[in-house]
Amino acid sequence: RAKQKGRNAWECFTSDINDEVSMRMALRNDLQEAIEAQNFELHYQPLLGARGGEIVGFEALVRWNHPIKGYLSPGLFIPLAEETGQIGPISEWVLRQACRDMCRLAAEGYGRYRVSVNLSPLQFRRTNFLSNLQQALRETGLPPDCLELELTEGILMIDTVAAVETLHHLRDMGVEVSIDDFGTGFSSLSYLKQLPIGKIKIDRSFVRDVTVNRHDGAIVQGIISMAHHLGLGVVAEGIEEAAQRDFLTAHGCDVFQGFFFARPMPLEALRVYLKERTIEVGPAQVLQRNAD
């Protein structure tokens, strides 16, 4: 009986593997077609000043516009694309599209905003990363200070010396850099002091229970205080409730991002959002709010 059970288990195991392999192969082929057809779209999520509520920028978040399955979230295909190397052309597209969209918004009179683009580890480590970036800025006409790159702690830990050098070049170019998902990675705090970066983004997992779990509350307070002492700005991501916002405001967080304020949206919806906010708040009040 044990033998039979064992064989069934093995059969089950192999068929699972086959399913997994064939599913991934199908996904990979679909992804290749999507790359060729440029079936991707960027959605933008507003980042808001914690004190004045003014828009300080947008994070560009890629979606795969699948002909049958609809919008697919990056969590479903970015990890695979990183394994297969397909992340290269996707990243190129994302960077250029984000730059083009920001230029377009400015040209249409919506204002000049900074866009944050997520970088994959492979992209950052490529030897021609900086020259590619410069080329993208030149081609699209986006001023370097309107671009922010979001890197994860992991990217910086792989080869710290090379990473620090690249970061210095970015700073010289005027491109802003932030550390994404802060607190979830390697978390060696000593590296922070040697990195020429502008801000850190507290990971959503800490924000979620910040008001109900005193450990998360303590961690978030600690991160904000440490970041400020190092001269870094602090963004909190994943804010879904007023209570979370209030906690973060009370502890001096600088920038807010989350569904509580706005969800990621296509460019067309972003135009509507920007129009509505200008009417609602009014340019004069925005200026006044920014001043205090």
Residue 176 to residue 116: CA distance in whole angstroms: 9
Question: Which residues, numbered 216-275, are part of the site for Mg ion (CB under 5 A)?
Answer: 237
Burial 196-226 (b: 16+ CB within 10 A, else e): ebbbbbbbbebbbebbeeeebbebbbebbee
Minimum distance between the CB of residue 183 and ligand C2E, rounded to whole angstroms?
12
Q: Which stretch binds ligand C2E (CB under 6 A): 23-31, 127-135, 165-173, 235-243?
A: 235-243
Asked if residues 207 and 244 have their Cβ atoms less than 8 Å apart, the reply is yes
DSSP letter for each residue of 19-80: HHHHHHHHHHHHHHHHHHHT-EEEEEEEEEETTT--EEEEEEEEEEEETTTEEE-HHHHHHH
DSSP letter for each residue of 158-175: HTHHHHHHHHHHHHHHT-
DSSP letter for each residue of 46-57: EEEETTT--EEE
Number of residues binding to Mg ion, judged by CB under 5 A: 6
Q: Is 148 in the site for Mg ion (CB under 5 A)?
A: no
Q: Which stretch binds Mg ion (CB under 5 A): 33-41, 89-97, 138-146, 174-182?
A: 174-182
Q: Is 109 in the site for ligand C2E (CB under 6 A)?
A: no
- Compute the Cα dihedral for 120, 121, 124, 128 and give only its sign: negative
Residue 99 to residue 60: CA distance in whole angstroms: 10
Q: Which of 153, 180, 216, 254 binds Mg ion (CB under 5 A)?
A: 180
Question: Which residues, numbered 87-116, are part of the site for Mg ion (CB under 5 A)?
Answer: none
Q: Which of 101, 176, 216, 237 binds ligand C2E (CB under 6 A)?
A: 237
Q: Which of 35, 48, 56, 61 binds ligand C2E (CB under 6 A)?
A: 61
Q: Which of 70, 75, 109, 231 binds ligand C2E (CB under 6 A)?
A: 75
Q: Which stretch binds ligand C2E (CB under 6 A): 103-111, 210-218, 236-244, 281-289?
A: 236-244
> Two tokens at 226?
């440490």
Question: Which residues, numbered 192-231, are part of the site for ligand C2E (CB under 6 A)?
Answer: 204
| Residue 264 binding result from Mg ion, ligand C2E, none, given CB thresholds of 5 to 8 Å by partner type | ligand C2E
| Residue 176 binding result from ligand C2E, Mg ion, none, given CB thresholds of 5 to 8 Å by partner type | none
Residues binding ligand C2E (CB under 6 A):
45, 61-62, 73-75, 78, 94, 118, 120, 150, 180-181, 204, 237-240, 257-259, 264
